[in-house]
């Protein structure tokens, strides 16, 4: 009989109830856990990006509350998963208080480098959109080491947001 997760290791909604920038900086080094075909797959998060809210022109919420962005307004720890370029699913976690539309994009974990490859590798798609990051959804986060050194850089592919927002160092990469 295997435990799906050590309950005390699971990052609870309160972990995500902080500014997206703080959460994004805190996640590298922690574990992304996926329950797949009766097996636990746990990968160390290597790369994240913060999308700060309606004022952040790179954030989907900057273009208003729509059917797609609705889950961004949900409680912290909600999964926001959407398709981009018709091909790639993006895994995000809603951060900050309920009603405030901000999120953290998980860009890499384990050997999976790049958000599209991460989702594909862990069999993540729109079926998880709007679910809570918890064992019952089959995808959650655990403490792990954390607190290792993290490098902040500019976010990828957000030039459309203009120089002010594309210049912000809101991408966080685990230093090896």
Partner DNA sequence: GCAGTGATCATA
Partner DNA sequence: ATGATCACTGCC
Query: In terms of CB distance, is 110 or 135 closer to DNA?
Result: 110
Let me know the angle formed at the C-alpha of 80 by 10 and 134, rounded to the nearest 5 degrees.
Answer: 20
| Beta carbon nearer to DNA, 23 or 59 | 59
Of the candidates 59, 31, 80, the one whose C-alpha atom is nearest the C-alpha of residue 155 is 59
Residues that bind DNA (CB under 7 A): 49, 51, 58-60, 63-64, 66-69, 80, 82-88, 90, 92, 103, 105, 114-118, 155-158, 160
At residue 105, φ and ψ (nearest 5 deg) are -85, 130
DSSP secondary structure code for residue 135 in this structure: G
The CB-of-165 to DNA minimum distance in angstroms stands at 11
Residue matched to tokens 């994009």:
105
C-beta of 116 vs 135, nearer to DNA: 116
Run of H or E including 24: helix 20-26
Quote the Cα angle for 140-145-151, to 5°: 95
CB of 149 to DNA, least distance (A): 23
Minimum distance between the CB of residue 101 and DNA, rounded to whole angstroms? 9
Cβ closest to DNA, residue 8 vs residue 160:
160
| Minimum distance from residue 31 beta carbon to DNA (Å) | 19
For the bound state, the minimum distance from the C-beta of residue 40 to DNA, rounded and expressed in Å, comes to 23
Is 128 in contact with 34 (CB distance < 8 Å)? no
Q: How many CA atoms lie within 13 A of 108 on its CB side?
A: 15
Nearer to DNA, 9 or 173 (CB): 173
């Amino acid at each position: 009989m295997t435990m799906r997760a050590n309950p005390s290791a699971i990052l609870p909604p309160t972990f995500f109830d902080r500014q997206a920038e703080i959460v994004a900086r805190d996640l590298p080094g922690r574990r992304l856990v996926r329950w797949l075909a009766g097996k636990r797959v746990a990968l160390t998060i290597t790369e994240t990006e913060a999308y700060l809210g309606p004022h952040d022109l790179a954030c989907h919420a900057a273009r208003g509350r729509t059917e797609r962005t609705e889950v961004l307004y949900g409680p912290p720890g909600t999964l926001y998963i959407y398709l981009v370029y018709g091909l790639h699913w993006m895994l995000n976690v809603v951060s900050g208080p309920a009603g405030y539309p901000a999120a953290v994009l998980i860009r890499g974990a384990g050997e999976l480098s790049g958000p599209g490859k991460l989702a594909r590798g862990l069999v993540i798609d729109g079926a998880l959109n709007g679910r809570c990051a918890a064992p019952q959804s089959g995808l959650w986060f655990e403490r792990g080491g954390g607190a290792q050194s993290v490098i902040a850089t500019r976010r990828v592919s957000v030039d459309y947001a203009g120089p002010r927002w594309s210049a912000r160092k809101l991408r966080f990469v685990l230093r090896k």
